[in-house]
């Protein structure tokens, strides 16, 4: 009997060992060696678009600032060092989770000037780079596409309500960079390819080519005009009376109601733009509540319907009814299912999303589990859809009829930060990218977000109107478990942002990948939607798939009816940063597709 017991015990040990080895093999398969090494810490972590932005946030944390102080510093640094994709005249949605407090959203998205009307743009003449027959309703570049700068007020609101430091303290790293930093390759490239636009604006040419030539990679690049503006803002804070909050309010007033606003408005009026002083003086960033859904026990938090953020929530509600793990990661069945869910979510975005201050958005319907169940029934397992199919309850609206892609959209960056206290900051700063018009001697690049409005679709929630926010693609994400933050992530990528981050979220939750493996895994990018920018093109069925996904999978998708374009192995247009908070440790991920960077201590 004792011998039998020993034999059984050994057999159980062998079985257990085999099971452990199998589990380990699955884990290795799901988490292969990554291009970017694992980054971990226990105290704090900052992830952003380049190392200079991360260093700015780290510097603030080391000086005792919290995650919001650090995040604001990193965004300001990005507005100096990443002008290829973001400038201080742009916009930004922001998620903040203070320890033991609910997630809040800050809308730092600027509004349309009062003079921006559909009638004005229907009657406009082509810009120098446009052809009348093919020009979009609102230009993709130039001063006519500028909205009120929103990001700066969003940053000041965040700093005032949730930070601990002064403006001068958090702006110090950015101010240092304005005095000179090594030109990144991408900034050099964008300045070079923007020549035809910069030549139309002497002040922009002077700003981006101060020495009369395109700065070479590694060449020291300084921004004295922007340095002067930041110095004036810091002086306004120093001169103001009262507490920290009152002093930060003095900074925002100097920008939006003081000398800077007057300079921006004067430059705009003299150069054919639409922004006037009253547009700036009446603008204020706002605090909002996140839109949420529960996916497999995880609380997914997104900004509201003035962004495309709820697209992810709608897609997750549809996908929750499938056993995605059983399908196999990036299998034909899995990709077909996720692509079709994304198409349905984007169709609702294109029909219903916009500024809720001006329109009634059917939020409860769009985010309900019942609606997700209904939409799941519209997915054909054996055939790809070729139409835009929004929920029918709102009735049809005329949408743009073109398949010509918009050129010259340089999109966005991202900033995420976690501090030792457990506060979390996640932002998607964007706009005022190259080729940008510099507003006179302020050194502030103006954005082009006005192009995101619809001009010829009356009654749409995203129709152009003065004082209205354009519905933006910008969409940071936080994920909670039992009320505690687990993941913070954001990405550049325009219309691709939420479908890219959706795939990352599924990699993390359904397939148990590490953050770095999750962001590096090959992705698809559907173009089956009405694009957010200028032309608002709709390209039925088109999906770009990175060629690290096997050729037989591409063939299977093609047989299902998808219009597959095989793209380069690391070509997906988004590049997320992810921070995971788990078991007392911080785990960071930076997508190598576009040189993201993350550091933790």
Determine the pLDDT at residue 138: 97
Q: What's the start-to-end Cα distance of the chain, in Å?
A: 56
Output the pTM of the full model. 0.94
Sheet holding 577-582, edge to edge: 39-41, 585-590, 577-582, 484-490, 477-481, 298-302, 291-295
Predicted confidence band of residue 397 (pLDDT cuts 50, 70, 90):
confident
- Average pLDDT value for residue range 543-568: 97
- Average pLDDT value for residue range 223-232: 98
Of the listed ranges 65-69, 138-142, 400-404, 451-455, the one predicted with least confidence: 400-404
Q: What whole-number distance in Å separates Cα of residue 520 and Cα of residue 576?
A: 9
> The tokens 């770095």 sit on which residue?
516
Using the CB atoms, write b or e for 105-141: b if 16+ within 10 Å: bbbbbbbbbeebbbeebeeeeebebbeeeebbbbbbb
Count Cα neighbours of 259 within 13 Å in the Cβ-side half-sphere.
10
Determine the pLDDT at residue 7: 35
- Checking if the pLDDT of 139 tops 70, the result is yes
Q: What whole-number distance in Å separates Cα of residue 66 and Cα of residue 420?
A: 8
Q: What would the two tokens of residue 457 be?
A: 């679709």
Q: Read off φ and ψ for residue 62, nearest 5 degrees.
A: -65, -25
- Checking if the pLDDT of 14 tops 50, the result is no
Pairing of strands 563-567, 542-546: parallel
HEC-encoded secondary structure of 532-601: CCCCCCECCCEEEEECCCCHHHHHHHHHCCCEEEEECCCCCCCCCEEEEEECCEEEEEECHHHCCEEEEC
Q: Are 109 and 472 in contact (CB under 8 A)?
A: yes
Q: What whole-number distance in Å separates Cα of residue 332 and Cα of residue 311?
A: 22
Determine the pLDDT at residue 24: 40
Q: Which residues pair with 504 in a beta bridge?
A: none
Q: What would the two tokens of residue 119 be?
A: 């009638």
Of the listed ranges 129-138, 424-433, 438-447, 496-505, the one predicted with least confidence: 129-138
DSSP run (H or E) holding 528: none
Q: What would the two tokens of residue 317 be?
A: 């509600």
Q: What is the pLDDT of residues 486-522, one digit of tens each?
A: 999 999 999 999 999 999 999 999 999 999 999 999 9
- Checking if the pLDDT of 18 tops 90, the result is no
Q: What whole-number distance in Å separates Cα of residue 344 and Cα of residue 352?
A: 12
Pairing of strands 298-302, 291-295: antiparallel
Following DSSP, what letter does each residue of 6-53 receive, concatenated?
HHHHHHHHHHHHHHHHHHHHHHHHHS---SSPPEEESS-EEEESSHHH
Q: What is the pLDDT of residues 310-349, one digit of tens each?
A: 999 999 999 999 999 999 999 999 999 999 999 999 999 9
Using left for φ > 0, alpha for ψ between -120 and 50, and beta otherwise, residue 28 falls in alpha
Predicted confidence band of residue 30 (pLDDT cuts 50, 70, 90):
low
Q: Are 313 and 291 in contact (CB under 8 A)?
A: yes
Q: Are 46 and 599 in contact (CB under 8 A)?
A: yes
- Alpha-helical segments (H) within 240-271: 244-256, 259-270
Predicted confidence band of residue 404 (pLDDT cuts 50, 70, 90):
confident
Q: What whole-number distance in Å separates Cα of residue 527 and Cα of residue 309?
A: 17
Determine the pLDDT at residue 246: 98
Q: How many CB atoms lie within 10 A of CB 204?
A: 22
Predicted confidence band of residue 5 (pLDDT cuts 50, 70, 90):
very low
Domain boundaries, given as residue ranges, for the chain: 187-216
Query: What one-character DSSP code corresponds to residue 471?
Result: P
Predicted confidence band of residue 407 (pLDDT cuts 50, 70, 90):
low
Following DSSP, what letter does each residue of 73-112 receive, concatenated?
HHHHHHHHH-TTT--TTSBEEEEEE-TTS--EEEEE-PPP
Q: Read off φ and ψ for residue 235, nearest 5 degrees.
A: -65, -40
Q: What is the pLDDT of residues 267-287, one digit of tens each?
A: 999 999 999 999 999 999 999
Sheet holding 524-526, edge to edge: 524-526, 542-546, 563-567
Q: What would the two tokens of residue 74 be?
A: 């990193």
| Average pLDDT score, the chain | 93
Determine the pLDDT at residue 410: 65
Strand, coil or helix: 464: coil
Q: What would the two tokens of residue 428 be?
A: 């998607």
Q: What is the pLDDT of residues 360-387, one digit of tens each?
A: 999 999 999 999 999 999 999 999 999 9
Q: What is the pLDDT of residues 294-310, one digit of tens each?
A: 999 999 999 999 999 99
Q: Are 532 and 308 in contact (CB under 8 A)?
A: yes
* Cα-based angle 589, 77, 42 (whole degrees, multiple of 5): 40
Q: What whole-number distance in Å separates Cα of residue 252 and Cα of residue 40?
A: 36
């Amino acid at each position: 009997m004792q011998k039998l017991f020993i034999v059984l015990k050994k057999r159980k040990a062998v079985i257990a060992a085999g099971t452990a080895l199998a589990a380990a093999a699955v884990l290795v398969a799901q988490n292969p060696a990554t291009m970017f090494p694992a980054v971990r810490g226990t105290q704090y972590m900052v992830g952003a678009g380049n190392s200079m932005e991360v260093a700015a946030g780290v510097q603030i944390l080391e000086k005792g600032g919290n995650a919001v102080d650090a995040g604001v510093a990193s965004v300001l640094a990005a507005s100096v060092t990443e002008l290829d994709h973001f400038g201080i005249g742009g916009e930004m949605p922001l998620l903040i989770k203070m320890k033991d407090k609910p997630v809040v959203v800050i809308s730092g998205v600027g509004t349309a000037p009062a003079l921006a009307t559909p009638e004005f743009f229907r009657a406009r003449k082509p810009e120098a780079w446009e052809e009348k027959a093919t020009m979009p309703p609102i230009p993709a570049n130039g001063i006519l596409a500028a909205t009120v700068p929103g990001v700066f007020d969003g940053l000041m609101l965040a700093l005032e309500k949730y930070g601990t430091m002064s403006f001068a303290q958090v702006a110090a790293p950015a101010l240092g960079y304005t005095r000179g930093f090594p030109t990144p390759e991408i900034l050099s490239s964008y300045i070079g390819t923007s020549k035809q636009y910069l030549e139309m604006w002497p002040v922009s040419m002077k700003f981006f080519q101060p020495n009369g030539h395109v700065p070479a990679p590694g060449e020291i690049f300084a921004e004295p005009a922007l340095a002067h503006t930041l110095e004036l803002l810091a002086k306004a804070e120093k001169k103001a009376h009262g507490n920290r909050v009152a002093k930060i309010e003095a900074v925002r007033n100097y920008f939006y109601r003081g000398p800077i606003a007057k300079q921006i408005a004067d430059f705009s009026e003299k150069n054919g733009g639409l922004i006037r002083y009253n547009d700036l003086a009446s603008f204020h960033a706002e605090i909002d509540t996140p839109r949420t859904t529960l996916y497999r026990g995880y609380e997914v938090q997104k900004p509201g319907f003035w962004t495309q953020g709820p697209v992810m929530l709608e897609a997750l509600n549809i996908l929750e009814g499938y056993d995605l793990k059983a399908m196999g990661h990036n299998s034909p069945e899995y990709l077909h299912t996720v692509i079709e869910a994304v198409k349905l979510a984007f169709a609702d975005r294109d029909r219903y999303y916009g500024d809720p201050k001006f329109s009634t958005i059917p939020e409860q319907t769009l985010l309900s589990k019942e609606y997700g169940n209904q939409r799941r029934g519209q997915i054909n397992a054996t055939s790809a859809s070729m139409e835009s199919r929004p929920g029918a309850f709102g009735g049809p609206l005329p949408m743009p009829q073109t398949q010509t892609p918009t050129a010259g959209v340089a999109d966005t960056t991202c900033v995420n930060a976690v501090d030792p206290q457990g506060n979390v900051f996640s932002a998607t700063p964007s706009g005022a990218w190259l080729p940008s018009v510099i507003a006179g001697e302020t050194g502030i690049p103006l954005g082009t977000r006005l192009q995101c409005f619809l001009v010829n679709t009356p009654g749409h929630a995203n129709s152009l109107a003065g004082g209205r926010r354009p519905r933006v693609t910008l969409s940071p994400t936080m994920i909670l478990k039992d009320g505690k933050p687990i993941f913070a992530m954001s990405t550049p990528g325009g219309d691709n942002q939420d479908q890219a981050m959706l795939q990352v979220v599924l990699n993390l939750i359904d397939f148990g990948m590490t953050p770095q493996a999750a962001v590096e895994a090959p992705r698809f990018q559907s173009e089956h939607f009405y694009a957010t920018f200028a032309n608002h093109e709709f390209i039925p069925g088109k999906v770009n798939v990175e060629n690290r996904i096997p050729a037989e999978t591409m063939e299977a998708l093609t047989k299902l009816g998808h219009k597959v374009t095989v793209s380069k192995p690391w070509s997906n247009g988004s590049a997320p940063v992810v921070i995971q908070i788990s078991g007392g440790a911080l785990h960071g991920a930076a997508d190598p597709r576009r040189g993201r960077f993350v550091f933790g201590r």
